[in-house]
Amino acid sequence: MLEMLIMLMIIMSILFSSLMTPLSMVVTLILQTMLISIISSIMISSFWYSYMMILIMISGLLILFMYMASIASNEKFNIPTMLILYLMMLGFYLNFTKKEMIFEKKISFYINQEMIMNKLFNYKFMMPTILMITLLFLMMIIVSFLVNSNEGPMRKSN
């Protein structure tokens, strides 16, 4: 299960680098965020961390999506057939040769079974947690000021 999710993340990363329209990039980022959330919920025995992470990331991505939807023109999504063939061949290759891949070497992600939600916010992780909270607060203030300014391309949506 974990191998398939990692393979999907690799394919989504390759697909993201070849997309041209901003709306398709945002959709790819949302799918990538969901994959990361699922992988973190598998690796950590508690789903609360992945739930908080997906709520924070999706809220930021939806603001980005709203901004891009107001700026970007309505373009058709043209995915080249060569890209589809390349991604299918990559998927088959990764599926059939997964015995030689690095994530198949029986690396145990479950070494710390005690890492549950209360262990996530212990003294060792206090500074990164405070930094992330402060960064999110500052980003919220900056986005609020940008939306209220009348000089930029961002405008309030009803």
Residue 112 forms part of a structural domain: no
Confidence band of 75 (pLDDT split at 50, 70, 90): low
One-letter amino acid of 138: L
> What band does 53 get if pLDDT is binned at 50, 70 and 90?
confident
The 10 Å Cβ neighbour count of residue 4 is 12
Q: Judge if 101 and 137 occupy the same domain.
A: no
DSSP string over 106-126 = ---S-S-TT--HHHHTSGGGH
* Whether residue 125 sits in one domain with residue 95: no
39 belongs to a structural domain: yes
Q: Which two tokens stand for residue 16?
A: 């993201």
Residue 71 and residue 12 share a domain: yes
Q: How many structural domains comprise the chain?
A: 2
Question: Are 9 and 36 part of one and the same domain?
Answer: yes
> What domain range is 63 assigned to?
2-107
| pLDDT at residue 113, rounded to an integer | 47
CA distance 12 to 96: 19
Q: Do 53 and 23 share a domain, yes or no?
A: yes
Residues 127 and 69 in one domain: no
Answer yes or no: is 113 within a domain: no
- The reported pLDDT for the residue numbered 157 is 54
Please report the pLDDT score of residue 106 as a whole number.
45
Residue 156 has φ and ψ, to the nearest 5°, of -70, 135
Q: Which helix (H) or strand (E) holds 27?
A: helix 22-43
pLDDT digits (tens, 9 = 90+) for 104-146: 444 444 444 445 555 556 666 677 777 778 888 888 887 777 6
